[in-house]
């Protein structure tokens, strides 16, 4: 019997169309996306962690009060270190995506990650006492990390001081990013902004 995510969603039918991300988006069959940190200290261990579990991990942000895109994010530690709550939020979001799109929500998540992963970034280089920005290519691992971070940040900001629940905000961001909606998706906007600044730094 094939294991289904949360006992509902098949992972074997999910496809990854971006060749650079195939080796990094793990779609191994699991019922509960919780590996108890077994891969935490292994070199490139994140490659062996299921993509849904990595989404859960990114949701567990602390309430640092960091200003992001003009908004101060304070999560009050609601999910910090609380993996079970984070998994519940992700499961609810997946249910909403499945109900609204009539498609496998894990496929929507994979599409959202592929669409919002930047291919080019910039870094600061100092040479002769002068600092300037230089455009650099982004590794597949970092592309995936940036995409997941921006998707979860969008959910946190969408639910902050708002009537939306975190699950509703996460479901909405996954749907919009999966469609490549640059007008509504925060993750797509951040990808475009990062690539635009990299182009100007060439």
Q: Which among 202, 201, 175 is positioned nearest to 188, based on CA atoms? A: 175
What is the separation, in whole angstroms, between the first and last Cα of the chain? Answer: 52
Assign 134 a pLDDT band (cuts: 50, 70, 90): confident
CA atoms of 46 and 63, how far apart (whole Å): 24
Q: Is 78 among the domain residues?
A: yes
Q: Is 186 among the domain residues?
A: yes
Q: What is the pLDDT of residue 97?
A: 93
CA atoms of 172 and 78, how far apart (whole Å): 20
Q: Is 7 among the domain residues?
A: no
What domain count does the chain have? 1
Q: Is 61 among the domain residues?
A: yes
Distances 140 to 93, 147, 185 between C-alpha atoms, Å: 26, 11, 21
CA atoms of 72 and 87, how far apart (whole Å): 25
Q: Is 10 among the domain residues?
A: no
Q: Tell me what the pLDDT averaged over the chain comes to.
A: 84
Contact (CB, 8 A) for 106 and 14: yes
Q: What is the pLDDT of residue 73?
A: 58
pLDDT in tens, 151-189: 988 888 887 767 888 899 999 999 999 988 888 888 999
Domain that holds residue 155: 19-200
Q: Is 14 among the domain residues?
A: no
CATH number at residue 196: 1.10.455.10
Task: Give the residue-averaged pLDDT of 18-22.
Answer: 89
Q: Is 147 among the domain residues?
A: yes
pLDDT in tens, 45-75: 788 888 999 998 888 875 555 555 555 555 5
């Amino acid at each position: 019997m094939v294991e289904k995510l949360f006992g509902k969603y098949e992972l074997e039918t999910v496809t990854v169309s971006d060749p650079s991300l195939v080796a990094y988006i793990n779609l191994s069959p699991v019922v509960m996306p919780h590996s108890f940190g077994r891969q935490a200290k292994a070199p490139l261990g994140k490659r062996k962690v299921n993509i849904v579990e990595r989404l859960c991990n990114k949701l567990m942000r602390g309430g640092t009060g960091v200003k992001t895109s003009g908004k101060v994010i304070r999560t009050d530690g609601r999910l910090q270190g609380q993996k079970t709550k984070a998994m519940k939020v992700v499961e609810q979001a997946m249910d909403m995506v499945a109900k609204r799109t009539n498609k496998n929500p894990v496929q929507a998540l994979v599409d959202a990650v592929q669409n919002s992963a930047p291919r080019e970034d910039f870094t600061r280089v100092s040479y002769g006492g002068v600092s300037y920005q230089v455009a650099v290519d982004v590794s597949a691992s970092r592309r995936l990390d940036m995409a997941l971070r921006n998707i979860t940040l969008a959910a946190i900001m969408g639910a902050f001081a708002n009537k939306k629940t975190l699950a509703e905000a996460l479901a909405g961001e996954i749907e919009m990013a999966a469609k490549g909606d640059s007008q509504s998706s925060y993750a797509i906007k951040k990808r475009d902004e990062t690539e635009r600044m990299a182009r100007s730094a060439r």
